Structure 1
C-alpha cells in the first residue's frame, strides 16, 4: 500500500549529480522511483508535485513535453 511519506523519499532517491548543474532530477527517474514504492504516477503528476513542493528546483528542459529535467538552485534545499 503506498504511503504519502514515500513520495519525498522517492524524490531524494531520484536526484543525480551533474558536473555543470549540480544536483538534477529527471521526471522519468522520479516516476521510476515512485513505482518502486507502489505509487504509479504520470509524468504530469510528478511535474506538478515537483513544482508545488520543491521550490529550490527549477526547470531547465530544452525540449517540449512532460519529461522534464530540474536542477537545484544555489543554496537550495530539499523539502
Structure 2
C-alpha cells in the first residue's frame, strides 16, 4: 500500500499539458500512475477521488463510461 500523499502526486504526474496550454487528465492515466506508487484502484475509485479532492478540474468527457477526461478549470473567467 502506498502512502496517502502519493495519491496527489500520482494525480499531478498524470496531468497532460496540451500545445495550447490546456491541462487534462484521464482516469486511465491517473490509475496507471497510482499503480506506480502501489495503489490498485479501479477507474470508479479514481473518479470518486478526483471529484471529492480536486476542485479545479471539471469533467469534460465526450463519451460515457468510467474512463473520463477532466480539464483544469479556472473559476476566475478563464478556461
CA distance in 1, matches of 2:69, 2:38: 22
Corresponding residue SS for 1:24: strand
Larger gyration radius, structure 1 or structure 2: 2
What does residue 34 of structure 1 align with? 34
- Normalising by the residue count of structure 1, what TM-score does the alignment of the two structures yield? 0.88
When the two chains are superposed, the root-mean-square deviation of aligned CA atoms in Å is 1.7
The alignment of Structure 1 onto Structure 2 pairs a total of residues equal to: 76
Residues 37 and 7 from structure 1, CA distance in 2 versus in 1: closer, same or farther, beyond 3 angstroms? same
Q: Deviations over 1:35-74 (max 9, x none)?
A: 0000000000000000000001000001010000000012
| Structure 1 unmatched ranges of 5 or more | none
- Normalising by the residue count of structure 2, what TM-score does the alignment of the two structures yield? 0.88
| Structure 2 unmatched ranges of 5 or more | none
The list of structure 1 runs, each at least 4 consecutive aligned residues, that deviate by more than 6 angstroms after superposition, is none
